[in-house]
Chains A and B, each alone.
Chain A
Amino acid sequence: MSRWLTEGLLTHKPTTAYPARPESTAGISPGLPVPSSELTGQALEQLVSMCRVGALSKEKNTLGFDDGRCIHCMRCKGKSPKELEWDDSYEWARLTKLGEKNLAKLSASFKASLYIRTIDAGACAACLTEISLLAGPNYNMHRLGFFMTPTPRKADVLLVSGPVTDHMRDHLLEAYDSMPEPKRVIAVGACAMTGGVFGPSFTCAAGLSDMIPVDVVVPGCPPPPLALLHALLVLTGRKQQAEKIRALGSDRS
């Protein structure tokens, strides 16, 4: 065992400085497009037609962008005649209306420590990989007072990924009902926000907002760990939420 102890001690600390300082290492985020008002006319039409998931849209001759639908398919990246701006940051999480209301009456204990139950409601496992990395040394959410728990009975936050398949719906509701008050819900990724590429359909719902009240949404497919960390910080009022500008689509709250 001492071998592992020395091994652990000798490994340099890989933990990110976020949220104290922004993280800028390459490869931490796939980025999201930034809609700019400069795009017009045919270039705009072309861009919108490239987007197969309806994230880019034409709104009064300007480019609209719905971050809940974007799945980083990269088809709009570097393809349009006029370069679409691409944002490599990761602070994407937003509060819903309910989330904003709840944030005001947030109890102090939530800010110190928060227990999280993750639920896979039909995710492709990429989201889950990113969530499980949160507890790894690179992101080490424990230092910020966030912990995973196996039972919703002890959980403060439900982290739901996936479009909510028909088979998982009742189990998700059961878990939500089992949580003690006060409770919060984070919808992780495009699937949980809008159903992503899968829903709504005969097997999947259009995300979980129809089923349980959602406090924070994190766009991305999958949202990288730092975006998830941001979401948790936004939920506890320790970070500002993403600017609204990105969410020109309807606000799902």
Chain B
Amino acid sequence: MQDSLKEFISANFARIELQEHKNGQTILEAECQPGDLVEFCRCLFCDQHMYYAMLVVEESAEQWIIKHVFYAPSGEMLHVLVRLPLAQTILPSIATQVHAADWHEREAEDLFGLTFEGHPRLGDFVLHDHWPEGTNPMRSSFDASQSLPPGKQASDWQPIRLLESEGSFAMPIGPIYSDVSESALFVLETVGEDVLRTIPRLFYKHRGIEKLAEGQKAHDVLLLAERFSGTASFAHTLAFCRAMETIGQIQIPARAQSIRLFVAELERVRHHVSALAKLCASTALAVAASQASILEEQMLRLSCKLSGHRFLFGMNTIGGLSMDIPEELFRQVLQESQEVGGRLLRLRRKLTRTSSFLDRLQDVGVISQQDARAHAMLGPAARACGISMDLRQALPYGPYGDASSLHIPTEQEGDGYARMRIFFEEIQVSLQLMKDALETMPKGPVAAENADCGAGAALGWSEAPGGGTFHWVRTDEEGKVLRWRLGTPSFANWHGFHLAAEKFAFQDFPIILASMGLSVAESDR
């Protein structure tokens, strides 16, 4: 599968060294000089139509290792590697060509103090203005356990405003807004009714978990992976465990694989029901919102019955699962989930017949396929724009094995209504997957005998409810985590959020926000 890519690279970029690492998984690494980086990445992204996953920056004792991770729907994965001496902190920015790398580079600029030459918009991002200049928390010299003296938020913070019209102004929403909402600030640039540009300001919830993980045992890092984004906890632990299992070359029992699939899909159903409840609430359709809320609570109770925890915390462990679940319980959960699925179909029928509801979703928050691709948007938000990308199919992993037959719902319109239909469709697909998994679920242990990991590095991924998530982990001999890098779907989709929030009437903002199904916690980390 990788051969054609290899040929292409050696034919066009002779100076780039290709290496294949086989460490449980095959990683194709292309090491290039900083000078070639931009053109090479452009070629991969624009000509080869590869997807951009994330930027991994590692600081070893003597050098920077900077990796741009690309992957293709056909299953290839390529790490574009640049090595720099520690003293050198300037490297070219690929964001001008690979727009998806924009926020990754800005983040690295804040956290590592690297400078990406040619990036049009560096500055205040992950660390807000009031952090002391030159604080780069991800550098190894930075002590993560220290409590920084409370910095006073800069009261004169000003958004970078782009709207040039007579009498234009900006409306702030947040960071504390609505009844119950995740903290984020949105600055809506407008001349009155029509909002012409939205500037999201995130990272109010930045907890620095990548730094906190450094030097911790993998089992402890698992707690962080589980709890940094509670609404997609199982998917993230799955990706993290898979990375660790790859490093330790741990064989997962077949039963564990099957249960993982079942639970991951259960989580997807719950997440989507929750997103639909928020969407109904945003259009002030109280009955529908209540109905969806009842179903959400029902899914939470099912999760709790199954795993003991309403958000499936504590279920995944490196090497399998922390507990076995009796067959009977599975059947019960599946049956009740299918009931929920049935009621959702009914809800969907009613919603699609409510014109006042559809009016508020159709042609609202439209994202074009081209823009969505350039911003490397993921998950339901991307699939609503006609991008049929799903890691379960593109890079089949663990429990999914060969999932080429997986049905991936896509829509073309890219508006709020398309995203709503994707949510509904995916729930039905997930229920089917759960049913199939239960039918073929083998007997046996649910965890590997030995779950110890040594030194190594690996990439784990999974299709979280919001889109593909990537966990890059490097460990030392004792199995302590040296570097943990997360590429989360919300991070990618928030990057593209402004596309949906341009040219809309002010009252549509909550709907656009809800229809994207984004998590701030997942993005802020």
Q: Which residues of A contact B (CB under 8 A)?
A: 1, 3-5, 7-8, 11, 14, 25-31, 52-53, 71-75, 77-78, 117-133, 135-138, 148-150, 152, 162-163, 165-171, 175, 196-205, 221-222, 224
B287 with A202: CB separation less than 8 A: no
Nearest B residue (CB) for A3: B350
Nearest-CB distance from B404 to chain A (Å)? Answer: 33
B287 with A7: CB separation less than 8 A: yes
Which residues, 110 to 166 on B, are CB-close (under 8 Å) to A? 128, 137, 142-148, 150-153
User: Is B454 engaged at the interface, CB distance under 8 Å to the other chain?
Assistant: no
B520 with A136: CB separation less than 8 A: no
Nearest B residue (CB) for A86: B308
- Checking A5, A31, A136, A148 against B287 with a beta-carbon cut-off of 8 angstroms, the contacting residue is A5
Given known A-B contacts A124-B227, A200-B147, A222-B311, A11 and B204 have beta carbons under 8 A apart: no
A125 with B219: CB separation less than 8 A: no
Nearest A residue (CB) for B231: A125
State in angstroms the CA–CA spacing of A117 and B179 once bound together: 7
Which A-B residue pairs are the 9 nearest by beta carbons? A126-B230, A27-B301, A136-B293, A74-B314, A27-B304, A124-B230, A148-B179, A170-B153, A8-B287
A169 with B230: CB separation less than 8 A: no
Which residues, 207 to 263 on B, are CB-close (under 8 Å) to A? 207-209, 211-212, 219-220, 223-224, 227-231, 233
B297 with A71: CB separation less than 8 A: no
Given known A-B contacts A77-B308, A136-B297, A168-B175, A71 and B227 have beta carbons under 8 A apart: yes
B230 with A222: CB separation less than 8 A: yes
B308 with A74: CB separation less than 8 A: yes
- Checking A28, A72, A168 against B301 with a beta-carbon cut-off of 8 angstroms, the contacting residue is A28
B304 with A198: CB separation less than 8 A: no
B303 with A203: CB separation less than 8 A: no
Measured between beta carbons, the chain A residues less than 8 angstroms from B143 are 202
A14 with B207: CB separation less than 8 A: no
State in angstroms the CA–CA spacing of A125 and B490 once bound together: 13
Summarize A's interface: helix, strand, loop or mixed.
loop
A4 with B314: CB separation less than 8 A: no
B521 with A124: CB separation less than 8 A: yes
Query: Could you give 25 example pairs across A and B, Cβ below 8 Å?
Result: A3-B353, A4-B287, A4-B350, A14-B297, A26-B301, A71-B223, A74-B314, A74-B323, A123-B182, A123-B230, A124-B228, A125-B182, A125-B231, A136-B296, A148-B180, A162-B205, A165-B205, A165-B207, A167-B128, A196-B227, A197-B223, A201-B147, A202-B144, A203-B137, A205-B147
User: Is B309 engaged at the interface, CB distance under 8 Å to the other chain?
Assistant: yes
State in angstroms the CA–CA spacing of A4 and B520 once bound together: 32
A73 with B223: CB separation less than 8 A: yes
Measured between beta carbons, the chain B residues less than 8 angstroms from A3 are 350, 353-354
Nearest B residue (CB) for A124: B230
Nearest-CB distance from A154 to chain B (Å)? Answer: 12
Q: Which of A8, A27, A152, A175 lies at the interface centre, i.e. has the most chain B CB atoms within 10 A of its CB?
A: A27
Q: Which of A25, A73, A119 lies at the interface centre, i.e. has the most chain B CB atoms within 10 A of its CB?
A: A73
Nearest-CB distance from A159 to chain B (Å)? Answer: 9
A202 with B211: CB separation less than 8 A: yes
A138 with B323: CB separation less than 8 A: no
Nearest-CB distance from A196 to chain B (Å)? Answer: 7
State in angstroms the CA–CA spacing of A197 and B177 once bound together: 26
Measured between beta carbons, the chain A residues less than 8 angstroms from B304 are 26-30
Q: Which of A1, A14, A168, A202 lies at the interface centre, i.e. has the most chain B CB atoms within 10 A of its CB?
A: A202
State in angstroms the CA–CA spacing of A156 and B66 once bound together: 50
Nearest-CB distance from B253 to chain A (Å)? Answer: 19
Nearest-CB distance from B336 to chain A (Å)? Answer: 10
B183 with A202: CB separation less than 8 A: no
Nearest-CB distance from B89 to chain A (Å)? Answer: 21
B212 with A198: CB separation less than 8 A: yes
Measured between beta carbons, the chain B residues less than 8 angstroms from A125 are 182, 229-231, 519-522
State in angstroms the CA–CA spacing of A149 and B178 once bound together: 8
Q: Which of A1, A14, A74 lies at the interface centre, i.e. has the most chain B CB atoms within 10 A of its CB?
A: A74
Nearest-CB distance from A182 to chain B (Å)? Answer: 21
Nearest A residue (CB) for B271: A129
Measured between beta carbons, the chain B residues less than 8 angstroms from A202 are 137, 142-148, 208, 211
Extra pairs beyond A138-B294, A162-B205 (7, CB < 8 Å): A118-B181, A120-B205, A123-B205, A125-B231, A129-B311, A136-B290, A169-B150
A166 with B151: CB separation less than 8 A: yes
Which residues, 273 to 301 on B, are CB-close (under 8 Å) to A? 274, 277, 285-288, 290-291, 293-294, 296-297, 300-301
A133 with B144: CB separation less than 8 A: no
Q: Which of B144, B274, B301, B323 lies at the interface centre, i.e. has the most chain A CB atoms within 10 A of its CB?
A: B301
- Checking B181, B207, B274, B350 against A198 with a beta-carbon cut-off of 8 angstroms, the contacting residue is B207
Measured between beta carbons, the chain A residues less than 8 angstroms from B179 are 118, 132, 135, 148-150
- Checking A53, A168, A197 against B204 with a beta-carbon cut-off of 8 angstroms, the contacting residue is A168
Nearest A residue (CB) for B232: A125
Interface string of B488-525 (1 = CB under 8 A from A): 00000000000000000000000000000001111010
B178 with A150: CB separation less than 8 A: yes
Measured between beta carbons, the chain B residues less than 8 angstroms from A170 are 152-153
Measured between beta carbons, the chain B residues less than 8 angstroms from A127 are 230
State in angstroms the CA–CA spacing of A229 and B291 once bound together: 21
B296 with A124: CB separation less than 8 A: no
B310 with A171: CB separation less than 8 A: no
User: Is B203 engaged at the interface, CB distance under 8 Å to the other chain?
Assistant: yes
B182 with A201: CB separation less than 8 A: no
State in angstroms the CA–CA spacing of A179 and B243 once bound together: 47
Nearest-CB distance from A212 to chain B (Å)? Answer: 13
- Checking A27, A120, A197 against B310 with a beta-carbon cut-off of 8 angstroms, the contacting residue is A27
User: Is B206 engaged at the interface, CB distance under 8 Å to the other chain?
Assistant: yes
- Checking B203, B313, B521 against A123 with a beta-carbon cut-off of 8 angstroms, the contacting residue is B521
Nearest A residue (CB) for B332: A26
User: Is B302 engaged at the interface, CB distance under 8 Å to the other chain?
Assistant: yes
Which residues, 309 to 342 on B, are CB-close (under 8 Å) to A? 309-311, 313-315, 322-323
Given known A-B contacts A133-B293, A137-B293, A202-B137, A74 and B309 have beta carbons under 8 A apart: yes
Nearest-CB distance from A29 to chain B (Å)? Answer: 7
Nearest-CB distance from A93 to chain B (Å)? Answer: 17
Measured between beta carbons, the chain A residues less than 8 angstroms from B183 are 119-122, 168, 171
A171 with B204: CB separation less than 8 A: yes
Measured between beta carbons, the chain B residues less than 8 angstroms from A28 are 301, 304
